[in-house]
């Protein structure tokens, strides 16, 4: 169940817990924008802890794009943090028929890049034929437009197929000028408390005050997240993936 809390309320919580409500002013030793930056540092870490929990994920996003004949690499979404899975519709209308059929693409390792380049007998994407992918780094950084990661497929598609990427998105920071204080963060079970107490500890450190209590409180929230975040569906545990039973279609041919 979601437990959204506004960014502005988190700022207020930090000021109260650090006992600095009357000290944080524009141009002061600690500015309001600075407090927001400290909270954002903790929210990024909280987000990463929720991603690390896996199981029935707390955040998930999808992105669909068309494969192009004779093109193996495609840009991935700019907000992708970690890839979860890749679905390929190998039977869209106009290619394989009116009934869509999907297969799961499998990742290939760097040392396997040539082993999977050509298959015995067939070239292309068909039902029962394995498709492999690998995320590749950015090209040389010549400017902001060049900072793009790609997903590369083996074998190269020979027709247009819809591809769906399921992934964990990056945390999108809020503005530090107060204009997005009404925006919300889903702390799931009040777990934004980690970011709040972490920010309190940073404020205390800058003021050269004892921040040990704030650090202890942040550690408690960190422990709670570690123990409970993976239980998003406590009624059923995650199954173990059977890597031998997937439909690779080659009946005995093992790369």
The 10s digit of each residue's pLDDT in 46-99 is 999 888 887 677 888 999 999 988 898 999 998 999 999 999 988 765 554 566
Domain of residue 102, residue span:
68-160
Residue 182, Ramachandran bin (φ over 0: left; ψ between -120 and 50: alpha; else beta): alpha
| Domain contains 41 | yes
| Domain contains 60 | no
Q: What is the pLDDT of residue 193?
A: 95
| Domain contains 194 | yes
- CA dist., res. 161 & res. 68, Å (int): 7
* Residue 223 phi, psi (nearest 5): -65, -40
Statement to judge: residues 75 and 127 lie in one domain: yes
| Domain contains 45 | yes
Q: What is the mean pLDDT of residues 3-14?
A: 94
| Domain contains 205 | yes
pTM of the full structure: 0.77
The 10s digit of each residue's pLDDT in 182-217 is 999 988 888 999 999 999 999 999 999 999 999 999
Statement to judge: residues 153 and 77 lie in one domain: yes
Closest CA to 156 of 127, 189, 113, 195: 113
| Domain contains 184 | yes
The 10s digit of each residue's pLDDT in 127-162 is 667 888 999 887 666 566 556 789 999 888 888 889
Statement to judge: residues 49 and 84 lie in one domain: no
| Domain contains 242 | no
Statement to judge: residues 39 and 123 lie in one domain: no
User: What's the total number of domains in the chain?
Assistant: 2
């Amino acid at each position: 169940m979601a437990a959204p809390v506004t960014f502005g309320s988190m700022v207020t919580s930090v000021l109260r817990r650090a006992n600095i409500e009357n000290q944080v002013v524009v141009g002061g030793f600690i500015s309001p924008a600075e407090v927001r930056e400290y909270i954002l540092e903790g929210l990024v870490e909280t987000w990463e802890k929720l991603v690390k929990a896996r199981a029935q994920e707390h955040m998930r996003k999808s992105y669909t794009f068309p494969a192009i004949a004779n093109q193996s690499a495609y840009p991935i979404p700019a907000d992708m943090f970690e890839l979860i899975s890749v679905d390929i519709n190998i039977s869209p209308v106009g290619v394989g028929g009116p009934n869509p059929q999907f297969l799961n693409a499998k990742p290939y390792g760097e040392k396997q890049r040539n082993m999977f380049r050509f298959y015995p007998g067939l070239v292309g994407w068909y039902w029962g034929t394995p498709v492999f992918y690998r995320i590749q780094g950015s090209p040389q950084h010549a400017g902001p437009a060049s900072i793009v990661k790609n997903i590369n497929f083996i074998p190269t598609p020979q027709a247009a197929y819809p591809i769906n990427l399921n992934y964990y998105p990056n945390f999108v920071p809020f503005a530090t000028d107060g204009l997005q204080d009404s925006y919300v963060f889903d702390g799931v079970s009040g777990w934004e408390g980690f970011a709040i107490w972490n920010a309190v500890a940073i404020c205390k450190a800058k003021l050269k005050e004892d921040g040990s209590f704030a650090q202890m409180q942040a550690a408690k929230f960190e422990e709670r997240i570690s123990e409970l975040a993976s239980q998003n569906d406590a009624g059923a545990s995650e199954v173990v993936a059977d890597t031998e039973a997937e439909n690779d279609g080659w009946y005995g041919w093992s790369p």
